[in-house]
Amino acid sequence: MTITSEPPSENVEATPQFEKAAQRKESRRGLLLALPSYLYLIIFFVIPLAIVFIYSFATRNRFGGTDLSGWNVASYERIAEPIVRTILFRSLWLALLTTVICLLIAYPFAYFLATRRPAIRNVMLVFVMIPFWTNFLVRNFAWRVILGNDGPLTKATEFLGLGTHELLFSQKAVVLGLVYGYLPFMILPLYAAIERIDGQLLEASRDLYGTGWQSFRNVLLPLSMPGVIAGSILVFIPSLGAYVTPEILGGAKTTLLGSYIVTQFLTARNWPFGAALSFVLMAVMLAGTVIYFRKGGRTL
C-alpha cells in the first residue's frame, strides 16, 4: 500500500503571521482587563509604600514633625535597642504560637470537613465563615466581656470551684483572640488541599501495611503540605502585625509590634522610626512568603 500526502498548499506560509497577530490582540485585551487593578494598586499601594520607605530614612525634628532632609539610617539602627528587640521577639513568638495552635486545631477539622458528603461540607463551610459577618472589633470586645472579671467564664470557673482566673490583659488572652480571629484562614486552605487528595491513596497506604499514624505521616501530611504552608502564612503574617486584638485583650503590659508602630506615629510622633519598623515587619513577612512559594511551588 502506498501513502500519498497532499503537497503543502500556499496558505501554510501565512499561518504564523495570523497566529502572532491573534496573540498580540489577546494580550492587549488582557492588559485592558487588568488595567483597573493595576491603577488601583499603583495609586493606593505602591505610591504610599514608597512614601513610607522615603520617610524611614528621614529625620524627626524637635517639634515632632519630619524633616525630609539629612537622610540617614538611624531609625533602622534603633531596632537593635533592647526594648524594640523584646517587642519584636515577643510579636514573633506570639505569632508563631498562634500559627501552631491554629494548625493543630484546624487540621483535624479540615480533614473531617473534606471527608464529608458535599451537602454537609457546604453547611459546615458556612459555619466557618459566619464569624466574618460580625465586625472584627465587636468580636474582640465580646472576648473582653467573656474573659472579664465578671464575665461568664469567671462565673463558670467559680461555680465549678476552680476559683478565679486572670486571663484578660495577658499574653494568653492575646493568643486566644488571635487564634479565634484567624482560625478560618487556616481551615480554608487546609480544607482545599486535603479535599484534592485522592482518598484511594490513604487506602493504598493502609493496604501496604501502614498504620493510621504512618499513613498520616507518609501520605496525607506531605500531600497536604501546600495547604499547611498557605494556611500558616495566612495566619502568621496578620498575627505578627496584629493591632486590634492585642490592644483590646492584651492591655498595657503586652505591647506588640503593631501597637508599637501605631504609638510611633500617633503618640511619640516619630514617623521615620515607625516607617522603619513597618519595613522591617514587611521584610519578615516577605521572607515568609518567599519560603512559601519556594516550598509550596515545588509540591504543588
Partner 1 sequence: MTAAVELKAITKKFGDVVAVDNIDLTIEDGEFFAMLGPSGCGKTTTLRMIAGLEFPTQGSLSIFGEEVGTLAPNKRSVNTVFQNYALFPHLSVLDNVGFGLKMQGIDKNETRTRAMEMIELVQLEGLEGRKPSQMSGGQQQRVALARALVNQPKVLLLDEPLGALDLKLRQEMQLELKKLQRDVGISFVFVTHDQEEALTMSDRIAVMHEGKLLQVASPEEIYETPVNRFVADFIGRTNLLEGTVSDSETVILTNGTPIRASNDFAAGTSVSISLRPERAKITQQKEDGDPLSSVSGVVETITYLGNARVYSVKFTWMSLEVREENRPGVELYEPGTPITVSWDHDAISVVAD
Spatial separation of the C-alpha atoms in residues 93 and 114, rounded to whole Å: 31
Cα gap 84→257, rounded to integer Å:
8
Binding flag, residue 219, partner 1 (CB under 8 A): yes
- Pick the binder of partner 1 from 127, 211, 286, 289 (CB under 8 A): 211
The one among 1, 80, 198, 252 contacting partner 1 by CB under 8 A? 198
CB of 17 to partner 1, least distance (A): 36
What nine digits make up the cell of 258?
503593631
Looking at the Cβ atoms of 64 and 212, the one nearer to partner 1 is 212
- Encoded one letter per residue, x for contact with partner 1 by CB under 8 A and - for no contact, window 157-196 reads ----------------------------------------
Smallest gap from Cβ 217 to partner 1, in A, equals 10
Beta strands in the chain (DSSP E): 59-60, 66-67
Q: Is residue 299 within the footprint of partner 1 (CB under 8 A)?
A: yes
Site size toward partner 1, by CB under 8 A: 18
Pick from 148, 151, 210, 251 the residue near partner 1 by CB under 8 A. 210
| CA–CA gap between residue 250 and residue 143 (Å, rounded) | 11
What are the helix and strand counts (H, E) for the chain? 15, 2
Interface residue with partner 1, options 83, 222, 283, 293 (CB under 8 A): 222
Tell me the chain's radius of gyration from C-alpha atoms: 27
Give me 113's grid cell: 470537613
For partner 1, the binding residues in 31-90 under the rule CB under 8 A are none
Least CB distance to partner 1 at residue 236 (A): 24
Q: What are phi and psi of 248, to 5 degrees?
A: -85, -40
203 binds partner 1 (CB under 8 A): yes
CA distance 273 to 59: 9
Instruction: Count other Cβ atoms within 10 Å, centred on residue 225.
Output: 16
Residues of this chain that interact with partner 1 (CB under 8 A) are: 198, 200-201, 203-211, 214, 218-219, 222-223, 299
